[in-house]
Structure 1
Amino acid sequence: MSRTVAMAIAPGALHPWDLYELGVVASIFGTPQPDLADPWYELKVCSVDAQPQTQPIGFGAFLRAEHGLDDLLTADTVIVPSVAAECVTAERELPPELLDALAAAHSGGARMVGLCDGTFALAAAGLVEGRRVAAHWVHAETLAKRFPGIEVDDSVLYVDDGDVLTSAGMTAAVDLCLHLVRRDLGAAVANQLARRMVIPPHRSGGQAQYVDRTVPTHPADDLGVVLQWAVEHLDEPLTVEALAARANMSPRTFHRRLHRSTGATPMQWLLNQRLAHAQSLLETTDFNIERISRLSGLGTATNLRRHFASVIGVTPAEYRRTFARPASMG
């Protein structure tokens, strides 16, 4: 059975953390595991220019790409890792020959994979129109605005849409690549590979547990003062009417101003702040769930668990196991 994986490297300088995704692909698909499956995958690193090519990728690093775009057309799976930041913001367009090769590979039956903002390349090639894709929550709004014909989901770690798969940022690349191994070679092989990598074979929850829910950076001054006060008094009963009065606004004006500044209603914003405080307490203290519920203004442990499951996607206990900082606990 042929298991050729082609990793398409777009030109341009990458951020240092983008090397992580290149390493993930190389580690999972480019490192033979004959005791797990033989043959394993064959990985080809492909670039826009004719092979072989040493491509600068920023911060003094170079990538040796031994293959050109023609190898995308014969691959079983084509993976596009992160692209340069200016390609995400559309300050610079991706090379048309790369986009044409991606489209041709897909038409030829290749399984297409976008890791983090590599999905921008799949979208620019017209491969995700009308589809649901995963995106890092930082880039989700930009992706949705640039390509309004796709459904962007920033709540999940990855999306498997059959012949097109996409992941959220950085470590979610591991989740998606292990999922590909699971699809191809079965759960037992994927689980054993995850064990060798000292990572869970499947992570609970989605991106919601990683989203920043802090006070907006530049709210209007009068609104910002009230929001900061609210964050410092989350353990007290807080109502929209009381916050509006503190801001010297009517509840209706307060609602409109807050929504314009944060994109959330007052009650949504307040719940996000309570959950953010609960997350911080779970990370940095050994307080029990009842106490954290009271300190965050969520009342009872039942309320905390319900909102965590609904918004964060994991239980408070699972979140604590993942993010607790033992040195800080007291």
Structure 2
Amino acid sequence: MTDASPLLTVGFVLLQRFTLLPFAAFVDCLRLAADEGDRSCQVRCHWRFMTGDGQPALSSCDAAVSPCKPFDDPTRFDYLVVIGGVQDENDRTDQLALDYIRRAAAAGGPLVGICTGVFALIQAGVMPGRRCCVSWYHHGDLTHRFPEVAPVADRLFVDDGDLITCAGGSAAADLAAYLVERHLGRAWAMKSLHIMLIDEGRRGEHPQPQPVVFERVADRALRRAIDIISQHLGESLSIDDLARRVGTSRRNIERKFRDELGVTPQRFMRNLRLRYGLWLLHYTPRTITDIGERCGFSDTAHFSRQFREAFGYTPSQARKTGSDRAVDPFFLHIGEPERLQRRG
């Protein structure tokens, strides 16, 4: 390959404690499309890692990326990709990065916010009135910090032309392949994905793999409890164990659920597991038996009985009717799923 200029150029803005997986997934897709085999020469694709001072960038797992360059002329890149990281309101704001993002937006080049990189795009003021894709895991943090923003959390990424936002994680590989296909062709995108042991790139509208509670819960202990429950949907988690993991007493955690959500922790867990089952029925080909087990129910009969009691129809009926009965799995408040019957 002797092309003098690459067909796709990407500048990476690596923010403080950036998340390593979406960064690695994105850049590796570029690397594998850039040259024959996996020789990694920047022939078809070119990329540059940048920080405000040009020093190595430290990731959230303490792995450092080097070499990094100072922020370069944004017009040199087809895309400026902002990789965000751990969100801590006590962290120092990277003002140099925000200024650079504003400069890039003014120049008219496409901006890409990956993972919590979208937080930086919002802080830079380049997203008024725009859609904003975010991971279900960071949805609560984003709506808490930026209540004026309406995030999209039921898909992997959103392409609005000059502004692309991605939920992060492995979805960064899907987005990178999408852009490689646009600039180099489908064969090069598939080459990258196959070497990465990914069968097929998922499109932006592909749903994120797990529902979560999008409730504006002010209490930190309760938010922590909800996170733990969401991450252990297939397990039988006792209230004592939940309280221990949160660092509080059983009585206190029961009071918090009752006062803020109007349900017991046991009821909340059951309802969340059932909503997860509903989501799996709508968006995956898994068998009902497999879904019941994945949602932590002892057997199919138990799952079906609880499901019908909650939603008013059986899992089989839910799968047959499909989108006619589909509900948003990212419902704002999970207290009583019986409300779905009245909504429908």
TM-score, normalization by structure 2: 0.63
Instruction: Indicate if the aligned counterparts of 1:21 and 1:173 stay in contact, CA closer than 8 A.
Output: yes
Q: Which residue of 1 aligns with 2:68?
A: 66
Does 1:310 find its partner at 2:321?
no
Q: For 2:295 and 2:146, how far apart are their aligned partners in 1? A: 40
C-alpha distance in 2, partners of 1:262/1:161? Answer: 39
Could you tell me how far apart the structure 2 residues matched to 1:158 and 1:137 are?
12
1:56 to partner: Cα distance: 3.6
**Offset, 1:103:** 1.3
CA distance in 2, matches of 1:283, 1:72: 46
2:14 is aligned with 1:3: no
Give the count of matched residue pairs.
262
Higher RCO, 1 vs 2 (CA within 8 Å, ≥6 residues apart): 2
Closer, same or farther: CA 205–56 of 1 in aligned 2, 3 Å = closer
> Compared with structure 1, are the counterparts of its residues 145 and 191 closer, same or farther at alpha carbon in structure 2 (3 Å cutoff)?
same
Offset from partner CA, 1:283-309 (integer Å, 9 cap, x none):
389x99899645632425122454688
Task: Find the residue that maps to 2:49 and give its secondary structure.
Answer: strand
User: SS in structure 1 opposite 2:116?
Assistant: helix
1:110 Cα deviation after fit = 1.8
SS in 2 for 1:94: coil
Matches within 5 A, 1:1-330: 2-11=7-16, 13-14=17-18, 18-35=19-36, 39-49=43-53, 51=54, 53-57=55-59, 59-86=61-88, 90-199=89-198, 200-202=200-202, 205-207=206-208, 209-212=209-212, 218=222, 260-261=260-261, 272-277=272-277, 280-281=291-292, 283=294, 293-294=304-305, 296-297=307-308, 298-306=313-321, 310-311=326-327
Given that 2:15 and 2:57 are in contact with CA atoms closer than 8 Å, whether structure 1 keeps it comes out as: no
- Worse-superposed segment, 120-129 or 141-150: 141-150
Instruction: Report the alpha carbon displacement of residue 97 of structure 1 after superposing the two structures with TM.
Output: 1.6
Partner Cα distance (2:300, 2:320) in 1:
9
- Further displaced range: 198-207 or 300-309: 300-309
- Structure 1 residue runs of 5 or longer lacking an equivalent are 220-231, 233-256, 314-330
Between the aligned partners of 1:95 and 1:270, the Cα distance in structure 2 is: 42
**Quick one: which amino acid aligns to residue 23 of structure 2?**
L
Q: Structure 2: how far apart are the matches of 1:312 and 1:43?
A: 38
Q: Deviations over 1:231-277 (max 9, x none)?
A: x9xxxxxxxxxxxxxxxxxxxxxxxx9795179xxxx9986542335
* 1:284/1:141 CA distance change after superposition, 3 Å: closer
**Other structure's SS at 2:50 match:** strand
Return the alpha-carbon distance in structure 2 between the equivalents of residues 282 and 159 of structure 1. Answer: 32
The change in CA–CA distance for 1:181 and 1:2 in structure 2 (over 3 A counts) is closer
Q: TM-score when scaled to structure 1?
A: 0.65
**Partner AA of 2:10 in structure 1:** V
User: Where does residue 238 of structure 1 map in the other structure?
Assistant: none
Contact 1:9/1:81 (<8 A) preserved: yes
Amino acid of the structure 2 residue aligned with 1:151: A
SS of alignment partner, residue 179 of structure 2: helix
Q: How far off is 1:70 after superposition?
A: 2.1
Distance 1:48 1:300, change over 3 A: closer
Structure 2: any 5+ residue segments left out of the alignment? Answer: 1-5, 224-235, 237-256, 281-290, 330-344
